[in-house]
Amino acid sequence: MRTSKSARFGLVVVAVTLSACSVGQGVGEASGSLYVLSCSPKGDYCDSTGVCGTASAPAFYSLNPDFFAGEPINQLTQFPNGSPLSGSQPEMNRITIRLQNSGKQLENTDALFFDVVDSYEVARCVRGREIAVAGQPNLHDYDDRYCFRASATGPARVRISVEAGYIHSTLSPRMTCTRPVDATATDVLPINGVVQIVDNGAWESWVEFVAFGSAAQNEQPDPTARSAISPDFKVDLNQRLYASAFSLTLQDEKVVTAQEDLLPPPSPDIGGALTGNFDFDLKRGQGAQIFP
């Protein structure tokens, strides 16, 4: 399933937070390397030491997030033959997550977005359920093309991909740069429309969830004893979102769009890589909501 730029980036409109007392409270980090050409009228993006990033040598960048928000969304689109991703349910609940370096409006802050377009499939990966088959290896109750589990009770690594992926991710450095540019987390595109399995979850972009609402059942060390995820699964308010790690390879949004449309890619103006983590609970916070 492909998602347009406007759908990928303009997703987070209502925020829910860790505490009713403090909108956006949570913990996490996101740092790595970045280059942005013509970041501002002063020139390209430069780090705090004055080193300016280039495509061949990006400069150090840290989001320094201190505002964490998310929005669980009941998907309104009905698919008559099931989900385009899983083929298992008529609709996909989703949740959007963002890390910001301030609680200001999006046009005045650096923000890192994680758009979980299919909460059910991500929950299946986090649950890590296996189906016992007599005389055969256990079957995974999740899709190995998008999910990797190193152990039964460890974090679940989920592939981030703009092409038929369960999660999309975008960095929008609107406070750092006056120029409106977006960088999308990339992955290898499908070969002839077929998404390939990558050994050990060594994808270009991924996130590892320890807690994804009520999905985890690590108290059951035997994966065959875990219950199946309901097709209408969603992360509710007051539940935890804990990613112990993520790793993103960032490419200019316009380059990614051209590749999806099989057009010659333009020269990129932004790119780099980020690693980090986040941990917060979802609570409705009026101060962070655009809509009531």
The predicted-structure confidence for 95-135, as pLDDT tens digits, reads as follows 999 999 988 888 889 999 999 999 999 999 999 999 998 88
pLDDT at 3 over 70: no
| Closest C-alpha among 248, 247, 238, 184 to residue 211 | 238
Average pLDDT over residues 18-30: 71
The predicted-structure confidence for 259-272, as pLDDT tens digits, reads as follows 877 788 899 999 99
Strands 183-185 and 147-149: unpaired
| Domain containing residue 137 | 5-11+24-288
* pLDDT top residue among 57 and 265: 57
Looking at the 3D structure of the chain, how many domains does it have? 1
Residue 45 lies in a domain: yes
Residue 17 lies in a domain: no
Residue 16 lies in a domain: no
pLDDT at 51 over 90: yes
Say if residues 277 and 245 touch (Cβ distance below 8 Å): yes
| Closest C-alpha among 171, 163, 73, 67 to residue 116 | 73
pTM (2 d.p.): 0.85
Would you tell me how many other CB atoms lie within 10 Å of the CB of residue 64? 14
pLDDT band at 22 (very low <50, low <70, confident <90, very high): low
Residue 95 lies in a domain: yes
Q: Tell me the one-letter amino acid at 115.
A: D
Average pLDDT over residues 158-186: 93
pLDDT value at residue 91: 66
**% of the chain surpassing 70 pLDDT:** 83
Residue 222 lies in a domain: yes
pLDDT at 275 over 80: yes
Residue 162 lies in a domain: yes
Residues with Cβ within 8 Å of 236's Cβ and at least 6 positions away in sequence, in order, are 72, 213, 214, 282
Residue 101 lies in a domain: yes
Contacts 24+ apart (CB under 8 A), 255-258: 256/162, 256/184, 256/186, 257/5
pLDDT band at 235 (very low <50, low <70, confident <90, very high): very high
Residue 59 lies in a domain: yes
